[in-house]
């Protein structure tokens, strides 16, 4: 172990301004702070985290100059600019600390943490000779699924032709070609994105907010392929209590609404922090929810239905029909909602945080994946863990799917499986479990610098 004269390394953690990335970074920071590390959260000044919720952490805003970038055609340009613009600020900040320390006898090492979209932090670490650790906010399988795309493209297997879509990718069994990230984008756009996403730096370690039990074959594959240690520390929200990490204000009134509903009677609908819907799709969702005749709690993020500020897309008659049956909120305290006894099903876009949160509470899921890693996560839910099924967004199909999960025997069987997996998650997250042990190993690893 390195001799720091008793001082623990200072940790500088750099998170993307996306909810699904900021949340696990703040959760990990909270855990590491509880292990007596001093922590700086370096973040872009776009979508800053609420520092008042995390008084023990130091916050360092980095000027990103990205608020005028048009993201309607994807986020590649946004992240190119963010990485380009934030890099010199982080570099200068770290250099200043290093120079100050040259005078000091009691030196403190610095370890950089970043996610897969704040790769500028990895470059800065390499340039300054500092160790860096990547916290990946998605499923482990997303990593090889992205890295294999150039090879598949060379071999004529990507983008997959229609005849291949249903086939299993032999290198990624049981995932199919249709589950691969970015299959629906023009190939030049995919390559623009891959140039950004495929790690060019040499991180000292990788961390995933996942559980060994859930992704063992893929984790074994990753460990065989990469030299760097891999830590699996999920689900972080079940290991460390963290105050709200939400960019939007949580509407907690939905908890008292849930208190008045029968056990396992409510379908909770949330499509994460990024997905956007066309009006037609949103109307089909609304009609399916109403026609199912089950209570529902629906998160409609402001601006998430194209062309509307919030729920103005709903015809008046439909709003009247919804009264008494359902509640629509702008943003929910999702982890508390999923843990509530009244929630019997989770209709999700299958973002990794939502997937882990649903799995942790033993809630069966209706899967409506959009892109990126969500189709892989949905495949886990439907075919591997068998705690969810895919849905077609059409009102009659939705009505049937909601009844299937909340009322039918099939839903009950799925819930049993979901609860069995929930037990495995509980074990992993308790003292002596795989995730807790991995966190301890991570602390020991950090102390080795």
- With the C-alpha atoms ordered 304, 310, 315, 318, is the resulting torsion angle positive or negative? positive
Nearer to ligand UDX, 137 or 160 (CB): 137
Q: How far is Cα 344 from Cα 251, in angstroms, rounded to an integer? A: 20
Nearer to ligand UDX, 382 or 437 (CB): 382
Binding mask 278-307 for ligand UDX (x = CB under 6 A): ---------------------x--------
**Residues numbered 121-160 forming contacts with ligand UDX, rule: CB under 6 A:** 137-138
232 is a site residue for ligand UDX (CB under 6 A): no
Q: How far apart are the first and last CA of the chain?
A: 7
Answer for which of 128, 165, 255, 274 binds ligand UDX (CB under 6 A) is 274
**Piece in contact with ligand UDX (CB under 6 A), picked from 46-54, 89-97, 172-180, 350-358:** 350-358
Shortest Å distance, C-beta 16 to ligand UDX: 8
Matching residue, tokens 């130091």: 58
345 is a site residue for ligand UDX (CB under 6 A): no
Asked if residues 26 and 15 have their Cβ atoms less than 8 Å apart, the reply is yes
Nearer to ligand UDX, 198 or 274 (CB): 274
Shortest Å distance, C-beta 273 to ligand UDX: 3
Letter string b/e over residues 75-112, b meaning 16 or more CB atoms within 10 A of that residue's CB:
bbebbbbbbebbbebbbebbeeeeeeeeeeeeeebbbb
353 is a site residue for ligand UDX (CB under 6 A): yes
Q: Tell me the pairing of strands 205-208 and 132-136.
A: parallel
43 is a site residue for ligand UDX (CB under 6 A): no
**Residues numbered 427-446 forming contacts with ligand UDX, rule: CB under 6 A:** none
Answer for which of 9, 17, 272, 364 binds ligand UDX (CB under 6 A) is 272
361 is a site residue for ligand UDX (CB under 6 A): no
Nearer to ligand UDX, 208 or 445 (CB): 208
**Piece in contact with ligand UDX (CB under 6 A), picked from 12-20, 148-156, 281-289, 313-321:** 12-20
Binding mask 306-335 for ligand UDX (x = CB under 6 A): -------------------------xx-xx
209 is a site residue for ligand UDX (CB under 6 A): no
**Piece in contact with ligand UDX (CB under 6 A), picked from 88-96, 346-354, 384-392, 418-426:** 346-354
Nearer to ligand UDX, 175 or 445 (CB): 175
Shortest Å distance, C-beta 352 to ligand UDX: 3
> Of 326, 136, 346, 342, which is closest to residue 232 (Cα–Cα)?
136
Q: Which residues bind ligand UDX (CB under 6 A)?
A: 18-21, 23, 137-138, 246, 270, 272-274, 299, 331-332, 334-335, 351-354, 357, 372-374
């Amino acid at each position: 172990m390195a001799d720091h004269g008793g001082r623990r390394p200072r940790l500088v953690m750099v998170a993307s301004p996306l909810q699904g990335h900021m949340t696990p970074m703040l959760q990990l920071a909270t855990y590491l702070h509880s292990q007596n590390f001093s922590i700086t959260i370096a973040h872009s000044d776009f979508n800053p985290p609420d520092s008042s919720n995390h008084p023990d952490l130091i916050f360092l805003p980095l000027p990103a100059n990205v608020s005028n970038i048009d993201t309607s055609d994807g986020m590649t340009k946004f992240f190119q600019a963010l990485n380009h613009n934030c890099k010199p600020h982080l570099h200068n900040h770290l250099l200043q600390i290093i120079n100050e320390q040259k005078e000091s006898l009691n030196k403190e090492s610095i370890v950089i943490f970043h996610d897969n979209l704040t790769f500028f932090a990895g470059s800065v670490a390499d340039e300054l000779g500092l160790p860096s650790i990547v916290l990946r906010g998605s499923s482990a399988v997303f990593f090889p699924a992205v890295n294999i795309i150039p090879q598949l493209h060379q071999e004529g297997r990507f983008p997959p032709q229609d005849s291949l879509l249903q086939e299993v990718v032999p290198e990624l069994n049981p995932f199919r070609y249709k589950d691969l990230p970015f299959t629906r984008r023009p190939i030049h756009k995919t390559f623009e994105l891959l140039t950004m996403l495929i790690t060019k730096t040499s991180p000292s370690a990788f961390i995933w907010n996942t559980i060994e039990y859930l992704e063992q074959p893929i984790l074994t594959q990753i460990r065989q392929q990469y030299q760097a240690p891999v830590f699996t520390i999920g689900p972080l929200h079940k290991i460390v209590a963290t105050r709200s990490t939400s960019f939007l204000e949580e509407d907690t009134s939905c908890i008292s609404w849930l208190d008045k509903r029968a056990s396992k009677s409510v379908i909770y609908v949330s499509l994460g922090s990024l997905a956007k819907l066309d009006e037609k799709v949103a109307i089909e969702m609304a009609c399916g929810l109403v026609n199912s005749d089950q209570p529902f709690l629906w998160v409609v993020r402001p601006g998430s239905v194209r062309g509307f500020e919030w729920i103005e897309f709903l015809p008046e008659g439909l709003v009247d029909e919804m009264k008494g049956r359902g509640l629509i909120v702008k943003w929910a305290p999702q982890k508390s909602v999923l843990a509530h006894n009244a929630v019997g099903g989770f209709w999700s876009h299958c973002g990794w945080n939502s997937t882990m949160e649903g799995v942790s509470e033993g809630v069966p899921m209706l899967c409506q994946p959009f892109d990126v890693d969500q189709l892989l996560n949905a495949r886990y839910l439907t075919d591997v863990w068998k705690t969810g099924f895919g849905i077609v967004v059409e009102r009659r199909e939705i009505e049937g799917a909601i009844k299937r999960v909340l009322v039918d025997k099939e839903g009950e069987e799925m819930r049993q499986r979901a609860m069995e997996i929930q037990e495995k998650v509980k074990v992993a997250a308790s003292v002596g479990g795989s995730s807790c042990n991995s966190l301890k190993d991570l602390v020991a690893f950090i102390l080795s610098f």
